[in-house]
């Protein structure tokens, strides 16, 4: 008797047992001799044993008609972190779940092993090196499972050969090489993409923004997506063609402020924030700051953007300060952003979050300078400075005020507990900020201060010290 035949004959047995009842009387014929000559209970148990053995050994789940293998996870353009450092990187990723570690590694020319970390579908803020993995999710979800990246340069013809992240990176490269061609390509092909994808592509026009882009940006002011309209308006504003936007909104924002005059001839005009009375008002003000351009806001106050920034009463309303800086970062021309940085730098106490709002418009040199000041400021810390960017290659970090505070806190913690979250964060941030030489020096200094070299809190510093600038290890 074949297995299929037995299985068929077991159906009535299975039905009896499922609902409850004796089944020996319906057992397959070949099995009946084993069930004879014993009482009913014993026959039932014998049938159960036979059925169990039969089902376990011969019955397999029926194969589905169609099976779909997901595409291969593609290799990345950078080498994978050496085996020796994988454990450290994995621990750090598990502990902090911090994409900045990926940026740090990418800056050192390596990527994390996919067993230790893979992007999720929604992970967008990743180093460019991970684009093929980010796109893998889209490939896995689509019918297109082509493995090789497109051979052709990004063009109108090859546009559809790219998955979104890879296309975005190719577009950024094209924008750097040939800004005019890039904006032409966008004008020709972007309209077919979703608002989310268009927004990310238009965002890349920030690099090398010039009057050449103006016609395209102006065409976007009629886009169906409010976020794209706002971005186009902000970029036009950066080019000095701001002031557009919903007049009612601009007026509403301006009404949150009053213009005061001061000075000998009462010629200095200052936009002073009126007191915000309710959370709803506060929220509305923040929304308007996020949508309106600096030029339009300044014009509504009958000032130029330069006048507005130069006379802004920093410190009077810290929330408004932050909103203004974010507005400037988004929509102000380079010279106005530089004025913002000058004003912030001239303050007696440095307010790092305000600089962080402008970080995207700052040069590496400017970030270094701000970071130095942040580390020397009262209450300054590596964790706060890290928000300006990882992998900046700082040297002499422990000689700063933040460094001395860290060493003192570590010394104080020796007799207490070593599991101090703040110290953990500081050591982690320190490891992210310093150069490789700086990491080695810091490890020596910390060892001299009594921190054992095997202390897991030094993982980030050790990882930094082990990675050469090109990603190789010693």
Partner 1 sequence: MKIDPDAIAALAPDQSSLKAAAGLMKPAKWSGIGSSHDGQFVWGECAGSGANPYRVMADLGDMGSKCTCPSRKFPCKHAIALMWMRADSAAPFPAADIPEWVTDWLGRRRKTGKPADAADGTMAPRKSLDEARQAEPEAAEDPKAAERRAAAAQKRAAETDRAILDALEALEQWVGDQLRLGLSGFVDDAVGRCRRIAARLVDGKAPVLAGRLDELPSRLLALPTGDRVRAAVVELGKLVLLARAYRARPGDAEVRRCIAAAESRDAVLEDPAAPRVMATWEVLGERIETRRDGLVSQTTWLLNLTSNDPRFAVLVDHYPATAGRRLSSFSAGEQFHAEIAFYPARLPMRALLVSRTPMAEGAARLKWPVDESAEPCSVLAAVQRQATEEPWQVETLVLLPAGRLALDGADRLWWRGGDTVLPLAGDPGALARATDLHRAAAIWSAGRLDLLAAETHWGRIGCDG
Interface residue list for partner 1 (CB under 8 A): 14, 17-23, 41, 44-45, 48-53, 55-57, 59-61, 63-73, 83, 87, 91, 113-115, 118, 136, 140, 414-419, 452-457, 459
Find the shortest distance in angstroms from Cβ 349 to partner 1: 35
Cα–Cα distance, 275 to 259 (Å, whole number): 14
Q: Are 347 and 377 in contact (CB under 8 A)?
A: no
CB 161 to partner 1: min, Å: 21
Minimum CB separation from partner 1 for residue 34, in Å?
13
Minimum CB separation of residue 426 from partner 1 in Å reads 15
Looking at the Cβ atoms of 33 and 64, the one nearer to partner 1 is 64
Residues of 202-226 as b/e, b for ≥16 C-beta within 10 angstroms?
bebbbebbeeebbebbeebeebebe
Instruction: Compute the least distance from the CB of residue 96 to partner 1, in Å.
Output: 13
Nearest residue (CB) to partner 1, 363 versus 416: 416
Among residues 69 and 151, whose Cβ is nearest to partner 1?
Answer: 69
Q: Kindly state the smallest distance separating residue 62's Cβ from partner 1, in Å.
A: 9
Q: What is the dihedral of CA 437, 443, 448, 452, to 10 degrees?
A: -160
Write out the two tokens for 4: 């299929």
In angstroms, rounded to a whole number, what is the distance separating the alpha carbons of residues 463 and 468? Answer: 10
d(CA 80, CA 118): 13
Least distance from partner 1 to the Cβ atom of residue 112, Å: 12
Of residues 44 and 293, the one with the C-beta less far from partner 1: 44
Q: Which of 144, 228, 131 is nearest to 173 (CA)?
A: 131
HSE, side-chain direction, 13 A CA sphere, residue 173: 10
Cβ closer to partner 1: 53 or 176?
A: 53
State the Cα–Cα distance between residues 331 and 229, nearest whole angstrom.
13
Rounded least distance, CB 143 to partner 1, Å: 13
173 touches 203 (CB < 8 A): no
Which stretches within 359-455 are classed as H helix? Answer: 364-376, 382-385, 401-413, 421-433, 436-448
For 261, the 3-state DSSP assignment is strand
Q: Decide whether 15 or 364 has the Cβ nearer to partner 1.
A: 15
Q: Which is nearer to partner 1, 255 or 412 (CB)?
A: 412
CA–CA distance from 51 to each of 7, 13, 39, 54, 55 (Å)?
9, 9, 18, 5, 6
Min dist CB 424 to partner 1, Å, is 9
Nearer to partner 1 among residue 125 and residue 454 (C-beta): 454
Residue keyed to tokens 């976020």:
227
**Of residues 272 and 413, the one with the C-beta less far from partner 1:** 413
Cβ 308 to partner 1 shortest distance, Å = 49
**What end-to-end distance do the CA atoms of the chain give, in Å?**
67
Element (H, E) at 88: helix 83-96
- CB closer to partner 1, 58 vs 287: 58
Closest CA to 398 of 412, 388, 409, 390: 409
């Amino acid at each position: 008797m074949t297995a299929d035949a037995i299985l068929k004959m077991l159906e009535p047995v299975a039905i009896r047992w499922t609902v409850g009842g004796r089944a020996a009387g319906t057992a397959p014929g070949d099995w009946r001799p084993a069930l004879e000559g014993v009482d009913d209970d014993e026959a039932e148990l014998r049938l159960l044993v036979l059925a169990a053995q039969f089902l376990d050994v011969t019955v397999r789940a029926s194969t589905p008609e169609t099976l779909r293998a997901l595409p291969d996870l593609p290799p990345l353009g950078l080498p994978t972190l050496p085996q020796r450092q994988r454990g450290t990187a994995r621990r750090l990723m598990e502990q902090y779940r911090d994409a900045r570690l990926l940026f740090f590694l990418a800056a050192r020319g390596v990527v994390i092993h996919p067993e230790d970390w893979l992007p999720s579908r929604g992970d967008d803020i990743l180093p460019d090196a991970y684009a093929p993995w980010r796109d893998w999710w889209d490939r896995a979800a689509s019918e297109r499972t082509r493995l090789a990246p497109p051979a052709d340069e990004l063009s109108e013809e090859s546009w559809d050969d790219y998955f979104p992240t890879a296309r975005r990176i190719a577009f950024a490269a094209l924008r750097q090489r040939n800004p005019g061609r890039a904006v032409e390509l966008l004008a020709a092909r972007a309209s077919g993409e979703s608002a989310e994808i268009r927004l990310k592509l238009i965002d890349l026009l920030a690099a090398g923004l010039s009057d050449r882009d103006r016609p395209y940006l102006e065409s976007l002011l009629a886009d169906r997506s409010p976020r794209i309209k706002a971005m186009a308006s902000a970029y036009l504003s950066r080019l000095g063609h701001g002031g557009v936007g919903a007049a009612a909104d601009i007026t509403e924002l301006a009404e949150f402020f009053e213009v005061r005059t001061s000075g000998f001839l009462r010629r200095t005009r200052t936009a002073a924030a009126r007191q915000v009375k309710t959370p709803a008002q506060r929220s509305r003000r923040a929304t308007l700051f996020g949508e309106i351009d600096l030029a339009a806001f300044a014009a509504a106050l009958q000032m130029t953007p330069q006048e507005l920034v130069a006379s802004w009463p920093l410190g009077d309303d810290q929330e408004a300060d932050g909103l203004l800086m974010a507005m400037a970062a988004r929509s102000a021309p380079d010279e106005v952003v530089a004025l913002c940085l000058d004003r912030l730098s001239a303050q007696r106490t440095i307010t790092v979050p305000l600089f962080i709002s402008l970080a995207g418009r700052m040069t590496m040199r400017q970030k270094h300078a701000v970071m130095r000041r942040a580390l020397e400021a009262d209450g300054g810390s590596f964790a706060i400075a890290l928000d300006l960017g990882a992998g900046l290659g700082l040297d002499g970090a422990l000689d700063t005020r933040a460094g001395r505070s860290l060493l003192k806190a570590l010394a104080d913690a020796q007799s207490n507990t070593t599991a101090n979250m703040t110290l953990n964060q500081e050591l982690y941030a320190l490891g992210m900020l310093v150069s490789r030489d700086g990491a080695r020096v810091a490890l020596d200094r910390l060892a001299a201060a009594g921190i054992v070299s095997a202390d897991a809190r030094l993982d980030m510093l050790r990882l930094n010290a082990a990675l050469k600038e090109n990603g190789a290890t010693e």
